[in-house]
Structure 1
């Protein structure tokens, strides 16, 4: 089960990054050019939210079926923290990705309450960019390439 979930999680991550990058660029361009916020912009923001939440759910399943979780259960946190690889996969990556998804969710929720286009784009640009930066900071790049 672990290899299958890891495969899905790894390849879904490409989709998440692409969609999130598109949403960030779209919101920055919309804000800078004073465009009118329309249905396409709403769909981009919503699709970004949905893909990141699906990735989070896949990641939670992966966390509990991974061999790293077994190490945590057997050896405890004292053995995990000194090891950079274990710390990345057990603590840093999951925590930072949860923070990124929370930022994206907050941005999406806050933008809906704005009444005009410019504040909508600004809210999305700020929170989605922060979410993207947090994600990029803790992706295990060595496992990707």
Structure 2
């Protein structure tokens, strides 16, 4: 089961990164370009929210079933972790949760606004923060 969840988490991450970049870029371009908020903008924002939440759920399952997640901390203690083990057991999960929280806040705030500028502003701010957080803690050595 561990390898299935790990592979799912790894491959789903490509979709997450793609959608978060598209969502943040779309919101930034349309906010600064003073464009109207439309159905496609809603779909992009919602799909970005959905794929990040699914990734979070897969990641939580992986965290508790992986030897590199919680089991690594239990086995070695926080002081016994190498930098790579700390990235996988502490930094990556913590920052990923923060990124999903920021994306969720941005989506929630944008729903309450009535104007296009008011809708794009929270999406641009919070989706960009989420994107930067996600990109900062991807274990790139596993990806490349």
Coarse TM-score class (shorter-chain normalised): over 0.9
Contact 2:72 2:89 in 1 (8 A): no
Distance in 1 of aligned mates of 2:137 and 2:72: 20
Question: Is residue 76 from structure 1 mapped to residue 77 from structure 2 by the alignment?
Answer: yes
Aligned 1:57-76 pairs, distance under 5 A: 57-68=57-68, 69-76=70-77
Report the CA distance between 1:35 and its aligned residue: 1.2
Say if 1:71 and 1:28 are closer, same or farther in 2 by CA, change over 3 A.
Answer: closer
Report the CA distance between 1:113 and its aligned residue: 0.8
* Counterpart in the other structure of 2:52: 52
Question: Is residue 41 from structure 1 mapped to residue 13 from structure 2 by the alignment?
Answer: no
Per the alignment, in what secondary structure is the counterpart of residue 114 of structure 2?
A: coil
Report the CA distance between 1:40 and its aligned residue: 1.2
Distance in 2 of aligned mates of 1:89 and 1:131: 18
* Counterpart in the other structure of 2:92: 93
Distance in 1 of aligned mates of 2:67 and 2:25: 37
Per the alignment, in what secondary structure is the counterpart of residue 115 of structure 1?
A: coil
Root-mean-square deviation (CA), in Å? 1.0
- CA displacement 1:107-142 (0-9 Å, x = unmatched): 000011111001211110010000000011100000
Per the alignment, in what secondary structure is the counterpart of residue 87 of structure 2?
A: helix
Runs of 4+ in 1 over 6 A off after TM superposition: none
Alignment TM-score, normalising by the size of structure 2: 0.95
Alignment TM-score, normalising by the size of structure 1: 0.95
Count of aligned residue pairs for this structure pair:
143
Runs of at least 5 residues in structure 1 that lack an aligned partner in the other structure = none
* Counterpart in the other structure of 1:115: 114
Contact 2:91 2:137 in 1 (8 A): yes
